[in-house]
Amino acid sequence: MPTTDEKKLTLDAVIVGAGFAGLYMLYRLRGLGLSAGVFEAGKGVGGTWYWNRYPGARCDVESMDYSYSFSDELQQEWRWTERYSAQPEILKYINHVADRFDLRRDITLETRVTSAVFDEAASRWTVRTDRGHDISAQFCIMATGCLSSTQEPKFERLESFTGKWYHTGRWPHEGVDFTGQRVGVIGTGSSAIQSIPIIAAQAKRLFVFQRTPNYSVPAHNAPLDPEYEKIVKANYAEFRRQARESRVGFVMEKNDASALEVAPDVRAREYETRWKRGGLGFSSTFNDILFNQAANQTAADFFGAKIRSIVRDPVVADTLTPKTYPLGTKRLCVDTNYYATFNRDNVTLVDLRKTPIERITPDGLRTSKQDYQLDSIVFAIGFDAMTGALLAVDIRGRGGRTLRDKWAEGPKTYLGLSMAGFPNLFTITGPGSPSVLSNMIVSIEQHADWIADCIDYLRTNGRRSIEAMADAENEWVQHVNDVGHMTLYPQANSWYMGANIPGKPRIFMPYIGGVGVYRQRCDEVTAKGYEGFTLA
Ligand code: N01
């Protein structure tokens, strides 16, 4: 891509976003000899790891899994320091990748893509940015991330607050020192659960405003065991193969037993073993936890007992115990000292179910019961997940139809990769693919590879465009929905269901059929000459 300030560009492909997905997509397209340009709103590469710098931000997929597999030299040479990597280390890794593969020269930073409009006559996309770029591209690839569009805090009188407020998903780069402060954290999802213990250790007082408690498993984070690293590196190809064929994009110890068929003491032992091991594998302790309410209840009961054993005040312990949705149907959280933090004298849990927030005040906030004096407020209220970042761009396909209109009743895609009416537009880890239910890097690499192979196929076969057929799309949407409804997931008011954003259609958005099964399906589609797509 030209490195001048030129704004009118003609490219083979525009890639929107310079996170893990955008970088690898660029690498692949370059390898095919295409001209491709990445446009990124942030001042640096890294996507989610660029923005989410809140205290304690850490990946809860293990480091040896959560990394690119496409370059053996890279995966052999890079050394992770911890079992679970912290945000600064992951960001350093992404920057290393950008440099190592000389990607920066095709990345335009601090530039937000505002619209992408399909020109039917030319069969090309016109992509515009907030810095005046006007780009004509044959392909438009959305690498915008599933959790990148933050949910804006819409609390009454927020503008009257005289202290400082922050969103975990847009944390200041210089960091925040809460020493001596009275801090309020609103929300108790993954971001809050990671940051609360650290803020509590720093602040004078911490008030945690909880609407819905979450299930959180200890991380048992530690320096990466050099023996484990050696074993994985000696067998990385096989390790990666197993991850690609697994259900969630990394190998979790499976147990084919039902929670209801084993004796109570065996069940308790299994849960205890998983708890001690820590991490996301807890929800696969038994094969029916995510499918059967009674089985799920046994896991929830174990959890309740754990919380009561850690948190000294029984009322606080009870408030922290989830009761309104099955375990695992909201994203399981992974923590370091989360529950124990509520034993600290300077930490108070406020149950918003009993005393909702009425409004923000100049010096804090007011619930239906009382005023809280706060110097800072941390909004850990999450994201407009999966669709938010895509709909933030004014995307118009055939006949000028907007994506917003097409998705008015919920996202509709074929394989989470493409959409009828939007030729040559691809979504990396789009709704309808395993995405957020998987190790994102495994899913990103699979999608970028599929897209690159598809573009290569089009070019070598003299085709100009590919477009999902409406029937294939409808069938896929139905399938995604059917499989989702075989599980307990739809019972929760989760961001998977779009339930965290007022007015968002209630649809289970990711594909839960499993990473390996899904990959097979995509490969079959390719093998059958892009079954379900029209090539022109
Ligand atoms: O956001 P969330 P997050 N008033 O949506 C509450 C990934 N992630 O940023 O449940 C009061 O989970 C809301 O309450 P409720 C991971 O996939 C990964 O924490 O809607 N409260 C909830 O408690 C994760 O799932 C990692 O009742 C309000 C919280 O805010 C996803 O990102 C780390 C409210 C939002 O929780 C999102 O996590 C961090 C309101 N008006 C994140 N609105 C790792 O890999 C919302 N809430 C470690």
- Ligand 1 and 186: CB distance under 6 A: yes
88 CA distance to ligand 1 middle (Å): 21
CA distance 346 to 402: 50
Angle at CA of residue 230, ends 227 and 234, nearest 5°: 145
Q: For residue 6, what pLDDT is reported? A: 83
- Ligand 1 and 62: CB distance under 6 A: no
Q: For residue 277, what pLDDT is reported? A: 94
Q: Residue range 489-493: average pLDDT?
A: 97
Condensed to tens digits (0 to 9), the pLDDT of residues 129-180 reads: 999 999 999 999 999 999 999 999 999 999 999 999 999 999 999 999 999 9
* Residue whose CA is at the smallest distance from ligand 1 atom 39: 191
Condensed to tens digits (0 to 9), the pLDDT of residues 80-110 reads: 999 999 999 999 999 999 999 999 999 999 9
CB atoms within 10 A of CB 255: 16
- SS3 label, residue 40: coil
Express as a percent the part of the chain with pLDDT over 70: 99
Ligand 1 atom at minimum distance from 147 CA: 32
CA distance 102 to 134: 25
What Å distances lie between residue 352 and 338, 357, 370, 490, 510, CA to CA? 19, 7, 12, 23, 29
91 CA distance to ligand 1 middle (Å): 21
- Ligand 1 and 494: CB distance under 6 A: no
Residue indicated by tokens 């895609």: 413
Q: For residue 4, what pLDDT is reported? A: 52
Express as a percent the part of the chain with pLDDT over 90: 98
What confidence category does residue 254 fall into, taking pLDDT thresholds of 50, 70 and 90? confident
Ligand 1 atom at minimum distance from 187 CA: 30
59 CA distance to ligand 1 middle (Å): 15
User: Which residues are CB-neighbours of 139 under 8 A, at least 6 positions away?
Assistant: 12, 13, 14, 125, 424, 425, 426, 455
Q: For residue 2, what pLDDT is reported? A: 53
Q: Residue range 245-260: average pLDDT?
A: 93
- Ligand 1 and 190: CB distance under 6 A: yes
Q: Residue range 318-322: average pLDDT?
A: 98
* Residue whose CA is at the smallest distance from ligand 1 atom 43: 381
- Ligand 1 and 60: CB distance under 6 A: yes
Map 320-339 to HEC letters: HCCCCCCCCCCCCEEECCHH
HSE-CB for 300 with a 13 A CA cutoff: 22
* Residue whose CA is at the smallest distance from ligand 1 atom 3: 382
- Ligand 1 and 58: CB distance under 6 A: yes
What Å distances lie between residue 160 and 176, 352, 367, 370, 529, CA to CA? 21, 21, 16, 18, 59
CB 413 within 8 A of CB 427: yes
Pocket test for ligand 1, best of 147, 325, 353, 489 (most atoms within 8 A of CB): 147
CA distance 22 to 34: 15
- Ligand 1 and 499: CB distance under 6 A: no
Condensed to tens digits (0 to 9), the pLDDT of residues 382-419 reads: 999 999 999 999 999 999 999 999 999 999 999 999 99
Map 105-136 to HEC letters: HHEECCCCEEEEEEECCCCEEEEEECCCCEEE
Q: For residue 253, what pLDDT is reported? A: 83
Pocket test for ligand 1, best of 165, 211, 333 (most atoms within 8 A of CB): 211
Condensed to tens digits (0 to 9), the pLDDT of residues 435-487 reads: 999 999 999 999 999 999 999 999 999 999 999 999 999 999 999 999 999 99
b/e code 278-314 from CB counts within 10 Å (16+ = b): bbbbbbbbbbbbbebeebbebbbebbbebbeebbeee
Q: Residue range 58-77: average pLDDT?
A: 97
CA distance 152 to 143: 22
Pocket test for ligand 1, best of 381, 435, 441 (most atoms within 8 A of CB): 381
- SS3 label, residue 139: strand
Q: For residue 283, what pLDDT is reported? A: 92
Ligand 1 atom at minimum distance from 334 CA: 48
* Residue whose CA is at the smallest distance from ligand 1 atom 1: 382
Question: Which sign does the torsion angle of CA 404, 410, 413, 417 carry?
Answer: positive
Q: Terminal CA-to-CA distance of the chain, rounded, Å?
A: 27
* Residue whose CA is at the smallest distance from ligand 1 atom 8: 190
CA distance 309 to 51: 36
Condensed to tens digits (0 to 9), the pLDDT of residues 418-449 reads: 999 999 999 999 999 999 999 999 999 999 99
- Ligand 1 and 495: CB distance under 6 A: yes
Here the tokens at position 332 are 């399981």
Pocket test for ligand 1, best of 59, 152, 157, 190 (most atoms within 8 A of CB): 190
Pocket test for ligand 1, best of 158, 209, 331, 365 (most atoms within 8 A of CB): 331
pTM of the model: 0.97
Here the tokens at position 524 are 């079959």
Residue indicated by tokens 């190592």: 100
CA distance 386 to 428: 11
For strands 216-218 and 394-396, give the pairing.
unpaired
483 CA distance to ligand 1 middle (Å): 24
CA distance 513 to 409: 22
CA distance 525 to 536: 17
Q: What are the φ and ψ backbone dihedral angles of 223, each rounded to 5 degrees?
A: -55, 145
- Ligand 1 and 167: CB distance under 6 A: no
Q: For residue 1, what pLDDT is reported? A: 64
Q: Is the pLDDT of residue 261 over 70?
A: yes
* Residue whose CA is at the smallest distance from ligand 1 atom 34: 381
326 CA distance to ligand 1 middle (Å): 17
Q: Residue range 494-515: average pLDDT?
A: 97
Q: Is the pLDDT of residue 305 over 70?
A: yes
